[in-house]
Amino acid sequence: MTGKQFIAEHVKPIGSSGIRRVFDLGATLENPINLSIGQPDFPVPEQVKQAMIEAIRSDKNGYTVTRGIKPLRDRITTELQREFDWDPDVFVTSGTSGGLVLALMATLNPGEEVLIGDPYFVSYKHLVRLAGGVPVCVNLYDDFQLHPERYESAITKKTKMMIACSPGNPTGAVYRKDDVQALAEIARRHDLLIVSDEIYCDLSYDGPNASPVPFAPERTLLLRGFGKSHAMTGLRMGYAAGPTALISEMAKLQQYTFVCAPHPAQFGALAAMDTDMSERVDSYRNKRDLICAELEKTFTFVRPSGGFYVFPEAPAKYPSATAFVEDAIANNVLIIPGEVFSERDTHFRISYAAPDEKIREGCEILRSLAV
């Protein structure tokens, strides 16, 4: 009685996330050094918690309007005007993932192609396929920058959009402004939509993150979230901003799917927008410096400029990154093999959203395996 007969054909080829496999392997360890987790290691800020508690106590637990509570939408609009001098339509999503799902559902006709930089965030390929589209990978090795010319040469008559992600997961790369501008020009020339996943935009350590919004505001769908910047991953809060018709179709679909983002968490997000996170950002910058120093003599990697990941090459003595990761896990360190995020299995992802001591201990073990 497995129930297998009920599963749709297009769902079966989707492998269970390799990240989950690492968690399963890790579950056999008693006290692993966990450098695999994609969420901050600090708690939700106190004023965010208070705002949510107050919302719950004052019975703000029912549905909200589909697009989210007005004070939050207004606050997001003000922020986008300040940052980009941009006045797009806006709505509140159930996490950045909620925005991604709705964006793909609202735009893709069967067989239309979506350009995705490889390495990519795990969900992109699968969500594109579920929405009836075809993911087309654009190779961004070895520097993980945008390489607009590679995007342009991957364009066909069926190309509908490109997904950009800066700072990147799993690479931590922050795109160069010139490349983002070039990508925006390509998008305009070929009449493509740019979906810009900026969930890590507040975690940019060497200067501001480069967004396509200033270069192609009329064809950029901006997706952001509160999970990574404010440690609110489980509260499922994000927002989408972009062209009117697109936002209105996405909001229509939200009505029939997610209905609305969690009501008390919307008050949490509103408080989050007034919470100064600069100390946390500084602390992550220090962790970035720490992990780079720990890895640099032994591993080859691109120094990350944002997010909380680094994506080094697996040591040459291993046949694949997966083989290296299995060995690391056998030695008590949880990391993720590159094949989860890529068509290649040559690199591995370390998350440095962890206590400094754990970063040091974990890197020492990884170094000992590499020599």
Q: Is 172 in a helix, a strand, or coil?
A: coil
Tokens of 152: 């342009």
Among 34, 36, 66, 96, binds ligand PLP (CB under 6 A): 96
Distances (CA, A) of 41 to 36, 133, 272: 12, 35, 17
User: Which is nearer to ligand PLP, 44 or 370 (by Cβ)?
Assistant: 44
| Residue 197 binds to ligand PLP (criterion: CB under 6 A) | yes
Q: What is the rounded CA–CA span in Å between residue 331 and residue 366?
A: 9
Q: What is the CA radius of gyration of the chain?
A: 20
User: Which is nearer to ligand PLP, 179 or 197 (by Cβ)?
Assistant: 197
Judge contact between 233 and 41, C-beta under 8 A. no
Q: 203 to 232, contacts with ligand PLP by CB under 6 A?
A: 225, 227
User: Which is nearer to ligand PLP, 88 or 225 (by Cβ)?
Assistant: 225
Residue number of the CB atom closest to ligand PLP:
95
Q: Is 28 in a helix, a strand, or coil?
A: coil
Judge contact between 196 and 99, C-beta under 8 A. no
Q: Phi and psi dihedrals of 118, rounded to 5?
A: -105, 120
Residue 90: how many other CB atoms lie within 10 Å: 22
Q: 109 to 128, contacts with ligand PLP by CB under 6 A?
A: 121
User: Which is nearer to ligand PLP, 23 or 332 (by Cβ)?
Assistant: 23
User: Which span sits near ligand PLP by CB under 6 A: 76-84, 91-99, 240-248, 298-306?
Assistant: 91-99
Distances (CA, A) of 357 to 37, 43, 177, 294: 16, 18, 35, 12
User: Which is nearer to ligand PLP, 131 or 165 (by Cβ)?
Assistant: 165
Least Å from the CB of residue 302 to ligand PLP: 17
Closest CA to 103 of 228, 298, 293, 251: 251
| Residue 169 binds to ligand PLP (criterion: CB under 6 A) | yes
Least Å from the CB of residue 43 to ligand PLP: 17
H or E segment to which residue 266 belongs: helix 263-272
Among 45, 238, 262, 315, binds ligand PLP (CB under 6 A): 238
Q: 21 to 50, contacts with ligand PLP by CB under 6 A?
A: 38
| Residue 97 binds to ligand PLP (criterion: CB under 6 A) | yes
Name the DSSP letter for residue 306. Answer: B
User: How many residues bind to ligand PLP according to rule CB under 6 A?
Assistant: 13
User: Which residues would be at the binding site for ligand PLP (CB under 6 A)?
Assistant: 38, 95-97, 121, 165, 169, 197, 199, 225, 227, 233, 238
